Structure 1
Amino acid sequence: MLNMSLIIIIMFMFGNMIFVSKHKHLLIVLMSLEFMVLSIFFLMLLYLMMINYNLYMLMVFMVFSVCEGALGLSILVSMIRTHGNDYFQSFNLI
Structure 2
Amino acid sequence: MDNVHSKIQNLIKQNSILLFIKGTQSLPLCGFSQTVVSIFNLMQIPYTTFNVLEDEEIRQGIKSYSNWPTIPQVYIQEEFIGGADIVISLYQEGKLQEKIEKILAN
Give the TM-score normalised by the residue count of structure 2: 0.31
Please state which structure has a larger fraction of its residues in strand.
Answer: 2
Please state which structure has a larger fraction of its residues in helix.
Answer: 1
Structure index of larger Rg: 1
